[in-house]
């Protein structure tokens, strides 16, 4: 049994126990790995286990729930998993996860994305930090935040800005606390559509071929198999990953016909961030609503209200809010125009 420890800015500490740490999971959390932590906020054991389903309320023949406890089996596409959570709403959180071959091989897409990432965010929110689905880049300790739905250009914007000497905080998720952005450096998910020249030149020949194969596989299976190429921002030549920075300006990215940057109502942007948090929380959005049915007065039932409160608190201060519409084909010319708008102070 291997035991690996992880820390995120010493705010969240967790331990993963497993006979083998799947390769893609090791890559996913490589930048959080550490030799020693004082006390884990949660521990995760990966492997077959026997759930403690006695005295549980059973919903829809699927969800087993008792105070502080949740168990279910679930699946998506070819990935299957069983998850048991002990110690919900307490400081002794323990997870058991078992998964099939696909779930283990593509651990980043299944048990990381659907379970572990959620508990990192859950723990941060319980400690008053906000986690937002956004890219963030910084220059001279002034951070720009780019929240958006998937596919609106977060990673692309981050990569272009990195090339122009901006420091990297995150391209998918970042942490907000009292007007500051804390980095969340997980690997960039590179696929044929967001493979821009900067990234391509940094890829070894072998990876470029693999990327082509993955893209073909995606087309052949009509979208059933989608394997991203992982690139650790720390390893990309002109990427400078920083720990934290002061939040200055928020550009809500959305899809549009042509590039258009307009001042946005802060409430509109905050609403967008909250909705994004929820929609990025499947399958736990479902698991938590089933738990809330059983325990309507629990912390879990109030979890989304807590997130909303955190976000409003963490965004307090003198920030500027904009909405940036980005065309579907996000070329370097479009980025140049966007950057001009950003740098002339709008």
Residue choice 232, 292, 306, 332 for contact with another protein (CB under 8 A): 292
Integer CA distances (angstroms), 82 to 49, 53, 63, 88, 110, in order: 9, 13, 11, 17, 11
220 binds another protein (CB under 8 A): no
CA atoms within 13 A on the CB side of 131: 24
Residue pair 64/38 in contact (Cβ under 8 Å)? The answer is no
3-state secondary structure string, 5-37?
A: EEEECCCEEEEEEECCCCHHHHHHCHHHEECCC
184 binds another protein (CB under 8 A): no
Q: Shortest Cβ distance from residue 59 to another protein (Å)?
A: 4
- Give CA–CA dist 64/182, Å, rounded: 36
50 binds another protein (CB under 8 A): no
Q: Shortest Cβ distance from residue 304 to another protein (Å)?
A: 11
64 binds another protein (CB under 8 A): yes
Q: For another protein, which stretch binds (CB under 8 A), given 38-46, 49-57, 184-192, 242-250?
A: 49-57
Residue pair 216/187 in contact (Cβ under 8 Å)? The answer is no
Q: Shortest Cβ distance from residue 303 to another protein (Å)?
A: 13
55 binds another protein (CB under 8 A): yes
283 binds another protein (CB under 8 A): yes
215 binds another protein (CB under 8 A): no
What lies within 8 Å, CB to CB, of 308 at 6+ separation is 274
Which residues within the stretch 298-317 sit at the binding site for another protein (CB under 8 A)? Answer: 301
Which residue, among 277, 284, 319, 307, has the nearest Cα to 133 in the 3D structure? 277
56 binds another protein (CB under 8 A): yes
Which residues within the stretch 135-164 sit at the binding site for another protein (CB under 8 A)? Answer: 149-152
Given the complex with another protein, which of 216 and 279 has the nearer CB atom?
A: 279
Residue pair 246/142 in contact (Cβ under 8 Å)? The answer is yes
Q: Which residue has the tokens 């126990």?
A: 17
E strand spans, 183-304: 188-190, 229-231, 244-255, 260-263
282 binds another protein (CB under 8 A): yes
- Give CA–CA dist 133/147, Å, rounded: 6
3 state DSSP class of 260: strand
Q: How many residues bind another protein (CB under 8 A)?
A: 45
Residue choice 1, 19, 48, 60 for contact with another protein (CB under 8 A): 60
β-pairing verdict for 260-263 and 244-255: unpaired
89 binds another protein (CB under 8 A): no
Cis, peptide link before residue 283, omega less than 30° from 0: yes
49 binds another protein (CB under 8 A): no
Residue choice 45, 207, 260, 294 for contact with another protein (CB under 8 A): 294
β-pairing verdict for 244-255 and 320-326: parallel
105 binds another protein (CB under 8 A): no
Q: For another protein, which stretch binds (CB under 8 A), given 58-66, 131-139, 175-183, 331-339?
A: 58-66
Q: Shortest Cβ distance from residue 150 to another protein (Å)?
A: 5
Given the complex with another protein, which of 101 and 268 has the nearer CB atom?
A: 268
Residues that bind another protein (CB under 8 A): 53-62, 64, 72, 74-77, 149-152, 223, 254-256, 267-268, 271-272, 275, 278-279, 282-283, 285-287, 289-290, 292-294, 296-297, 301, 328
């Amino acid at each position: 049994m291997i035991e690996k420890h992880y820390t995120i800015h010493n705010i969240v500490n967790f331990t993963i126990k497993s006979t083998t740490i799947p390769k893609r999971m090791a890559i996913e959390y490589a930048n959080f790995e550490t030799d020693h932590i004082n006390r884990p906020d949660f521990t995760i054991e990966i492997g077959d286990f026997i759930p403690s389903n006695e005295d549980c309320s059973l919903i829809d023949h699927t969800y087993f729930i008792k105070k502080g406890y949740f168990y279910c089996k679930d699946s998506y596409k070819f990935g299957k998993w069983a998850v048991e959570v002990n110690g919900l709403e307490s400081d002794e959180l323990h997870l058991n996860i078992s998964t099939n071959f696909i779930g283990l091989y593509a651990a980043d897409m299944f048990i990381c994305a659907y379970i572990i990432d959620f508990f990192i965010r859950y723990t941060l929110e319980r400690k008053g930090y906000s986690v937002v689905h956004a890219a963030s880049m910084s220059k001279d300790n002034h951070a720009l935040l780019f929240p958006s739905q998937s596919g609106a250009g977060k990673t692309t914007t981050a990569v272009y800005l990195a090339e122009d000497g901006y420091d990297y905080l995150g391209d998918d998720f970042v942490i907000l606390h009292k007007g500051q952005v804390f980095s969340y450096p997980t690997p960039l998910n590179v696929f044929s559509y967001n493979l821009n020249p900067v990234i391509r030149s940094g890829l070894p020949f072998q990876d470029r071929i693999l990327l082509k194969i993955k893209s073909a596989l995606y087309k052949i299976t009509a979208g059933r198999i989608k394997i991203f190429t992982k690139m650790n921002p720390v390893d990309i030549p002109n990427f400078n990953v920083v720990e934290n920075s002061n939040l200055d300006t928020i550009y809500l990215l959305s899809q549009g016909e042509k590039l258009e940057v307009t001042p946005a109502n802060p409430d509109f942007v905050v609403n967008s961030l909250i909705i994004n948090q929820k929609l990025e929380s499947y399958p736990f959005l479902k698991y938590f609503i089933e738990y809330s049915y059983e325990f309507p007065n629990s912390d879990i039932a109030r979890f989304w209200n807590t997130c909303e409160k955190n976000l409003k608190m963490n965004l307090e201060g003198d920030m500027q809010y904009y909405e940036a519409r980005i065309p579907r084909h996000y070329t370097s010319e479009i980025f140049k125009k966007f950057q001009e708008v950003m740098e002339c102070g709008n």
